[in-house]
């Protein structure tokens, strides 16, 4: 059964599905989690503290997933490719994690600062850790690489950076009209049937940004990592 802290974090995260962080109210979070406001403030201290805890939990849950992937019995290069796949898939589903990994925050998300220097430490140990502030992208990548241990840390970092290149600059979706042209179909007919946009705006639709890595990219990463994990040189240029 989840603790009161986890229930409050889950409730706050659920609220972000429909509201920007600025519109999420502490009183509503407490009510929906069925705890008192005093319990909420005792746990997090403030809305900023709640934001820090929410962001820290996203990072920790991601790292836990990385450790589970790396613990799977498989060749090292296969596990490291799986880390890249996990990173892309997780970033697709979790906007806060995507922002943590890429520093691409927006106004709808909480972007907390560390607790004020000299502030009284939080009474809750988990909150004291969260109050240190969220990791920067480079720090989170380093934490991820460390999950692989010293022997494979450099290769793990390489896999994660491959994944982030896919997250930041995914393959461009081919507009429907262009695909129709490639099949020899009349482009006007394709437009008329339906991208749901006017004026050829298909290329402006949301790209395939947050889909899993394509098999081709996976194969390339696996090939590179198979060389890297069998090479005596373990330093990423």
Domains of the chain: 4-172+207-228 (1.10.357.10), 173-206 (no CATH)
Each residue of 169-195: pLDDT tens digit? 766 654 545 444 444 444 334 333 333
Among 66, 96, 68, CA closest to 83: 66
Each residue of 159-171: pLDDT tens digit? 899 899 888 876 6
- Integer Cα distance of 142 and 43 in angstroms: 29
* pLDDT confidence bin for 19, thresholds 50/70/90: very high
Higher-pLDDT residue of 213 and 111 is: 111
In this prediction the pTM is 0.76
Q: How far is CA 71 from CA 33, 46, 64, 89, in A?
A: 34, 37, 11, 18
Each residue of 31-53: pLDDT tens digit? 999 999 999 999 999 999 999 99
């Amino acid at each position: 059964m989840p603790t009161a802290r986890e229930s409050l974090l889950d409730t706050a995260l659920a609220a972000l599905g429909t509201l920007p962080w600025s519109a999420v109210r502490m009183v509503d979070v407490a009510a929906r989690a069925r705890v008192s406001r005093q319990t909420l403030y005792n746990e997090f201290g403030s809305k900023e503290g709640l934001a820090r805890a929410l962001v820290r939990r996203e990072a920790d849950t991601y790292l836990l997933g990385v450790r589970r992937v790396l613990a799977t019995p498989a060749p090292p290069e296969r596990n490291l490719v799986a880390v890249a796949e996990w990173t892309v898939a997780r970033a697709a589903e979790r906007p806060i994690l995507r922002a943590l990994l890429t520093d691409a925050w927006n106004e709808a998300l909480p972007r907390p600062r560390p607790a004020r220097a000299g502030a009284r430490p939080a009474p809750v140990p988990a909150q004291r850790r969260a109050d240190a502030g969220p990791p920067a992208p480079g720090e989170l990548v380093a934490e991820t690489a460390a999950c692989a241990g010293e022997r494979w840390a450099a290769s793990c970092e390489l896999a994660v950076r491959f994944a982030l290149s896919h997250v930041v600059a995914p393959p461009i979706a081919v507009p429907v009209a262009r695909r129709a042209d490639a099949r020899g179909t009349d482009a006007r007919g394709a437009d008329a049937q339906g991208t749901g946009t006017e004026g050829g705006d298909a290329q402006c639709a949301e790209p395939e940004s947050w889909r899993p890595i394509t098999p081709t990219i996976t194969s390339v990463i696996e090939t590179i990592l198979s060389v890297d994990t069998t090479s005596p040189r373990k330093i990423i240029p």
